[in-house]
Amino acid sequence: MRLSAYFLPTLKEIPAEAQIASHRLMLRSGMIRQSSAGIYSWLPLGLKVLRKIETIVREEQDRAGAQELLMPTIQPAELWRESGRYDAYGKEMLRIVDRHDREMLYGPTNEELITQIVRDNIRSYRDLPKILYHIQWKFRDEVRPRFGVMRGREFLMKDSYSFDIDYEGARKSYETMFTAYLKTFKRMGLTAIPMQADPGAIGGNLSHEFHILAETGESGVFYDVAYDELAARGDIDLDSLSRLYAVTDEKHDPNAANVPPPDRLKTARGIEVGHIFYFGTKYSKAMNAVVTGPDGAPVTLEMGSYGIGVSRLVGAIIESSHDDRGIIWPEAVAPFAVGIINLKSGDSRCDGVCEDVYRALSDHGLEVLYDDRDERAGVKFADMDLIGVPWQLVVGPKGVAAGIVELKNRYSGEKQELSLESALARLTA
RNA sequence: CGGGGCGUAGCUCAGCCUGGUAGAGCGCCAGCUUUGGGAGCUGGAUGCCGGAGGUUCGAAUCCUCUCGCCCCGACCA
């Protein structure tokens, strides 16, 4: 992409409404623009990152055996009356009346809808187990939206639902998702810690929240350092983790049996990016989701649900990875792999080298952002740092004369002067 | 949902207290000079001063109502 043609409205000054780093940086880097409180448009740069995160989530769901479908955003109130949640949900649910005076709602979650689909289409235990998921926009009419996409009213969520014939199966589905979540967050360059959680409004008796550590996290968290050691070995599963102490501050009990000694207890701030629940027959019973079991008798389905805040992750990643110059994207979710800074657009030698490099890197399948604008060097450096492109190739008249380009790493700040050939080799390795 | 704050140019904000018909910096447009970390000079465009009522000869400014946004607290992927 040539920056001269790209729709990238960056801001030099900090928008007054933004309080935390990720919100400021998403506005400044031209990723999002607010439409109304807690509701955002995603501009090209922001959408690119959102899609990358979505893709990782999707790949790990598919790999875990979950199957993607797509349910609507608008749901009938009737369905929610079946489960009893229409009245229970309160003002957070956005209620709509259509032209025929039918009561509808913009879905805040999809347990009812998916339960209806499964109950209407699965009749035998032989068709189980199933894990179904979709990645769809949700709406929760938060009293007080804040922090940009971290707590918006409209947000993109991946939600999976498991259906099993018995508890053992449901437990296995839960573990499958648990493991998939750890892999998903790790691929994004995040340290996510599963915390024993309160199932809350979803109900049930087994639940974990996944928090990523960041100074501006909304929750205080306490966890056993043994987690860091396990994570470093990649040796993580539900059994080993469930023995470890890891809770959010509202659940922290210094007198609990498994609290580690003070020198082993870490405290930090966390952002909740995932939440998984086993809730048994809460919805299947209320909504009569029943299949025929092996002995011919009806069996009420065992269910669980598993959410990941896809749009929130964009903010969460920035919270955990930025500096005073801008965003530092982990390579797995970076909107562009390489940025080319032409320090003297219009100079035939600089232009020539940049064009060659741009083509060579693009031909290698890399996503490249080429700053070909007629701007001063400082502006280009500042914008490239702001939007956080992991690798920056700086091409200037002095270097070109000497056959050299500069390769800068956004994360470490390290700059290396290399021949054009070796710079290309490094980037395409 | 309680408490507080703010709506003036694309952005950040001054002006409001003490009414007299709209400003700065940045950005944008043109020209010249610059050119390795958000340049300088000159000239230019841009505002229903959030909206509606009211007071007044006259309202960005005072009064009433209303809408929007932000912050603190209680709730959530």
Strands A154-164, A192-196: parallel, antiparallel or unpaired by DSSP? unpaired
In the block, which residue shows the tokens 């320090």?
A343
DSSP states of A318-347:
HHHSEETTEE---GGG-S-SEEEEETTTT-
Of the CA atoms within 13 Å of residue A66, those in its CB half-sphere come to 35
Strands A130-139, A67-68: parallel, antiparallel or unpaired by DSSP? parallel
Q: Which residue is nearest to nucleotide B12 (CA to C1')?
A: A13
A15 touches strand B (CB under 7 A): yes
Which pLDDT score is estimated for A28? Answer: 96
CA/C1' separation A17–B71 (Å): 9
Task: Using the CA of A159, give the nucleotide whose C1' is nearest.
Answer: B77
A408 touches strand B (CB under 7 A): yes
CA/C1' separation A143–B75 (Å): 8
Structure tokens at A382: 């500042």
A193 touches strand B (CB under 7 A): no
ipTM: 0.93
Which pLDDT score is estimated for A307? Answer: 96
Q: Where are the domains of chain A?
A: 21-323, 336-428
A377 touches strand B (CB under 7 A): yes
Which pLDDT score is estimated for A310? Answer: 97
Helix (H, G, I), strand (E, B) or coil at A62: helix
A406 touches strand B (CB under 7 A): yes
Which pLDDT score is estimated for A205? Answer: 67
A208 touches strand B (CB under 7 A): no
A314 touches strand B (CB under 7 A): no
Which pLDDT score is estimated for A268? Answer: 87
pLDDT tens-digit readout, A221-280: 889 888 877 766 666 667 777 778 888 887 888 888 788 898 999 888 899 999 999 999
A324 touches strand B (CB under 7 A): no
Which pLDDT score is estimated for A165? Answer: 97
Name the H helices within A66-110.
77-83, 85-88
pLDDT along chain A (429 residues), means of 10: 95 90 95 93 96 98 98 95 90 91 94 97 97 96 90 95 97 95 94 79 74 86 84 68 81 83 89 93 96 97 97 95 96 98 94 96 98 96 97 96 96 96 96
Q: How far apart are CA A230 and CA A235, in angstroms?
A: 5
pLDDT tens-digit readout, A58-96: 999 999 999 999 999 999 999 999 999 998 888 889 999
- How far does Cα A235 stand from its chain's mean position? 23
Domains A21-323 and A336-428 agree in fold: no
Average pLDDT, chain A: 92
Q: How far apart are CA A44 and CA A367, in angstroms?
A: 14
Structure tokens at A43: 């501009």
CATH architecture of A21-323: 2-Layer Sandwich (3.30)
A211 touches strand B (CB under 7 A): no
CB within 8 Å of A226: residues ≥ 6 apart: A244, A260, A264
* A336-428: CATH, from 3.30.565.10, 1.25.40.80, 3.40.50.800, 3.20.20.140: 3.40.50.800
